Structure 1
């Protein structure tokens, strides 16, 4: 079954969607959209380092993404505005990564594959890495779900409950770094943030509880992956961007329905 490239691509897309869904909910709740984007941009520097050291892209991308996230977390509140800090670090890391890649002689690199994903080239070993990362993220989020939720809702309440919001932020940061590393092959560094944010934002109008929002976001993400891949296959379009396009269309459709309901209730 795994000999078929479309089957492997579909499994990879669903895996990334399931990891990104609960994490995306926290990104939306905490208004960390730029944080996710910056972490993803930094991963291209990790890709360059991995290629230079001739090791798997996954550990290099995860290490740099995690380092980036930790630096941002550490510097926030020390005289730097969050959006300014993210803008400087994200684009600097992306630029340094792209320049570093150009110095790698004797290595054939398809930059477009890292920027926009190359899900159709996912191998069996890639699937093992992707689903291993997905399992780690889901396990981390499930383990700390209540603590993460409390810290997100109210830091003072978290302290009163004996929780350390900074530790929960660190767990969220680690999960984000793992997700970025496994998603590079699927949607690329420029579209990872979209897969984190769009399904979660779409689920917001349908969900009654935080848990429901995470589950619905996972369903929307998985549907976007499958439908986007089918669309890419039929219309011969880039697979990664096609997945994000489907997610965006779902978001637009759900918001139009919600807007229609609001107008009806007003009349």
Structure 2
């Protein structure tokens, strides 16, 4: 059976997370919400701890806590709290509470490094089903709400004039982010989830002229980073999650270098023509 090969399962898991992260990453970059991904990921530690204490599914614990975090942020933002302050308080509070809660777990051997940095090579068939189900849900939700989310992102006044509630769209976005955090836990881990959201989108922004092409480009960059990082980690025997993110960062640097080279070339040609 094809799914009996752990490398095939790991590759499919990485591709699934990259597809789900692409549209959300673009919206996060446009909205300057990079810290939100970090905050939700930090809250996932509390979800892991509660799941272990209650002897329930790790995925369920992370999903519930991430959804609660997203809902609270959406409800409290704009009500006397600056967004960055609110995210900072909730992120570090939930991380601290999670680490304290883990200390009360007895009789259970846990590998915090796997949760912090991911363990994609240990993805099983059940994990793969969860990842692709979550990815399909997020992609379908983004496709359904795309024009509304884009309008609310571009201009809140324009959204109101079009009969769109920006707060509702932000809630949908934050809930979708919570789902991606939960499904990406196994692939890149809690500390690197935000990087997989932001870096491919930032890379794609360099060459994209429309929002839709940026989403497609971000998905391609994310898949290249996931597949290439997995193969590189296998060959070099390095940690897989950090290797995936490192390759994504290398692609970002390469894109920036190419873009700057093109600008310099255009400037040189324009100067020569003007002279």
Q: TM-score, with normalisation over the residues of structure 2?
A: 0.95
User: Alignment partner of 1:2: what SS?
Assistant: helix
Aligned residues, how many?
267
1:214 aligns with 2:194: no
Deviation digits for residues 102-124 of structure 1 (CA, Å, limit 9, x no counterpart): 21101110000000001000000
Cα distance in structure 1, aligned partners of 2:78 and 2:159:
19
Q: Give the match for residue 131 of structure 1.
A: 132
Cα distance in structure 2, aligned partners of 1:3 and 1:91:
39
What does 1:111-190 align with in structure 2 at a 5 Å threshold? 111-190=112-191
1:262 aligns with 2:254: no
User: Alignment partner of 1:37: what SS?
Assistant: helix
Structure 2 gap ranges (5+):
269-275
Cα distance in structure 2, aligned partners of 1:130 and 1:259:
37
- Measure how far apart 1:54 and its partner are: 1.5
- Measure how far apart 1:167 and its partner are: 1.0
Cα distance in structure 1, aligned partners of 2:84 and 2:173:
19
Larger Rg: 2
Structure 1 gap ranges (5+):
none
User: Alignment partner of 1:178: what SS?
Assistant: helix
Cα distance in structure 1, aligned partners of 2:89 and 2:164:
32
Deviation digits for residues 91-112 of structure 1 (CA, Å, limit 9, x no counterpart): 1111111111121101110000
User: Alignment partner of 1:48: what SS?
Assistant: helix
CA RMSD of aligned residues (A): 0.9
Q: Give the match for residue 74 of structure 2.
A: 73
Cα distance in structure 2, aligned partners of 1:252 and 1:102:
40
Deviation digits for residues 15-71 of structure 1 (CA, Å, limit 9, x no counterpart): 000000000000000000001110111011011111222221112111111111222
1:25 aligns with 2:26: yes
User: Alignment partner of 1:38: what SS?
Assistant: helix
1:49 aligns with 2:50: yes
Q: TM-score, with normalisation over the residues of structure 1?
A: 0.98
User: Alignment partner of 1:144: what SS?
Assistant: helix
What does 1:212-251 align with in structure 2 at a 5 Å threshold? 212-251=213-252
Deviation digits for residues 142-169 of structure 1 (CA, Å, limit 9, x no counterpart): 0000000000001111111111111111
Q: Give the match for residue 109 of structure 1.
A: 110
Question: Which 10-residue stretch deviates more, 66-75 or 166-175?
Answer: 66-75
Q: Give the match for residue 38 of structure 1.
A: 39
Cα distance in structure 1, aligned partners of 2:243 and 2:99:
24
- Measure how far apart 1:173 and its partner are: 1.0
Cα distance in structure 2, aligned partners of 1:145 and 1:80:
28
Deviation digits for residues 119-151 of structure 1 (CA, Å, limit 9, x no counterpart): 000000000011010011001000000000000
